[in-house]
Amino acid sequence: MKKSAEAGRAGPSVRSDCRVRFASRASGGIDIALESRVASMYGASIREEAARVLAMLGVTHGSLEIDDSGAVPFVLAARIEAAVRRALPGCTKRALPEPIDVVRAKTRRRRLRRSRLYLPGNEPKFFLNAGLHGPDGIILDLEDSVAADEKDAARIVVRNALRQVDFHGAERMVRINPLPMGLDDLDEVIPHGVDVVLIPKCESAVSVRDVDERITSLLAGMEGDGIATYLMPIVESALGVEKAYDIASASKRVAALTIGLEDYTADLGAARTAEGKESLWARGAVVNAARAAGVAPIDSVFSDVGDLDRLRAVALESKSLGFEGMGCIHPRQVRVVHEAFAPTTEEVEKAKRIVAAFEEAKKRGSGVVSLGSKMIDPPVVKRALRIVRIAEGEKR
């Protein structure tokens, strides 16, 4: 029985993508039809890549129609694989592109995470140059930005992007779907170099532990070679905020805790306002829970991409509350967020004086640190050391 399915998109407004339609048949070999603006130059290589992907998937008979809108090879492969797996649900093979050699981020549990740039997981056009904007982390999103009937295709695109895209030193993050669907996301992407997994709509330590256990199983034997995957749960409801400390302390993989204010305010039945009074308590609770658990508190996103002045004010307020960073939904927000979370000149100069006094006390063998007539407590020294490191551009 002939089975067919399609995946991807094409059209005048589409770029860096393609739409493919695959139809299986019992015999007759492989037929590949191609429609592309660059067919005269690259048609042969596109057909060759398509045939290679079908062979990797174990497909020996069928027809493939490709409507190309500038898809790079890893996107073409992802769309073909998605169409084949939709047409042939029993297909268990994968068409994995060869991983490219890139400079990876120095991922640590404690690391500078001022900005994380969200990219829709089924929109590969945003992937290729995202790292050029300099965010500390890039989130390939499988949750809210992906339509329900495209989740399967997005997983494959994100998986291939993890193997093929140079994110220029940004941490490679993936926001999975709420559990249990999110566990299927992990199965597809974790073996391919995810630095941080964001767990949305997290309301219990159980969810964190379930994700931890699945990651540990998928990476068995690999993390000892220097591969590490950390977690950033997102609390987005009244219950999530109430359980924030339990969530933040549920696993040694948790590196940061963040809040999603759109869903949180909706759960309260309150409108999200520019002043943010309706969420001030919750943001403070998240900072307190994160600090108590020894992880970084990270603030929500700012949704008005056109109002950079207001973004700067919100980011400065966020910093004053104790947050270490926030989310970005557009590349133009990254620079503003970095500037807001950077220490001021006065903070840096004071921190340098404290560090100098600390070093001098160490040389004298003294456990007492003083700056002028003021005694400096160890937590103040610790904060000063961190400010100096941030000012010197160390991502930690």
Cα angle for residues 165, 166, 169 (degrees, 5° grid): 140
Tens digits of residue pLDDT in 302-345: 999 999 999 999 999 999 999 999 999 999 999 999 999 988 77
What does the block give as tokens for 117? 């740039």
Name the more confident of 337 and 383: 337
Q: What is the pLDDT of residue 395?
A: 44
Looking at residue 373, what is its pLDDT?
57
Each residue of 91-113: pLDDT tens digit?
999 999 999 988 787 788 888 89
Lowest mean pLDDT among 119-128, 190-199, 328-337, 360-369: 360-369
| pLDDT band (50, 70, 90) for residue 362 | low
Give CA angle at 301 (299, 307), nearest 5°: 125
SS3 11: coil
CA Rg, the chain, in Å? Answer: 24
Each residue of 119-150: b (16+ CB within 10 Å) or e? bbbbbbbbbbebbebebbbbbbbbbebbeeeb
What's the per-residue H, E or C state across 15-80? Answer: CCEEEEEEEECCCCCEEEEEEECCHHHHHHHHHHHHHHHHHHCCCCCEEEEEEEEECCHHHHHHHH
Q: What is the mean pLDDT of residues 60-64?
A: 96
Q: Which residues contact 46 (CB under 8 A, 6 or more apart)?
A: 34, 36, 39, 66, 68, 76
In angstroms, the CA 379 to CA 390 distance is: 17
User: How high is the pLDDT of residue 365?
Assistant: 64
Inform me whether the pLDDT recorded for 25 exceeds 90: yes
In the sheet where 30-36 sits, what is the strand order?
Answer: 4-8, 17-24, 62-69, 30-36
Phi-psi region of 21 (alpha: psi -120 to 50; beta: other; left: phi over 0): beta
Q: With a threshold of 0.85, does the pTM exceed it?
A: yes
Residue 388 pLDDT grade (very low, low, confident, very high; cuts 50, 70, 90): confident
Which amino acid is it at 194?
A: V
Please state the rounded mean pLDDT for residues 262-290.
Answer: 94
Average pLDDT in the chain: 91
Residue 281: which residues within 8 A CB-CB, separation 6 or more? Answer: none
Please give the pLDDT value at position 386: 74
Q: Which residue has the higher pLDDT, 382 or 160?
A: 160
Please list the residues that pair with 119 across neighbouring strands. Answer: 140
**Helix/strand/coil for 205:** helix
Q: Tell me which of 379 and 302 has the higher pLDDT.
A: 302
CA distance 138 to 58: 33
What DSSP line would sit under 208-260, residue for residue? HHHHHHHHHHHTTTTGGGT---EEEEEE-SHHHHHTHHHHHTS-TTB-EEEE-
pLDDT tens per residue across span 163-174? 999 999 999 999
- Which one-letter DSSP state was computed for residue 301? B
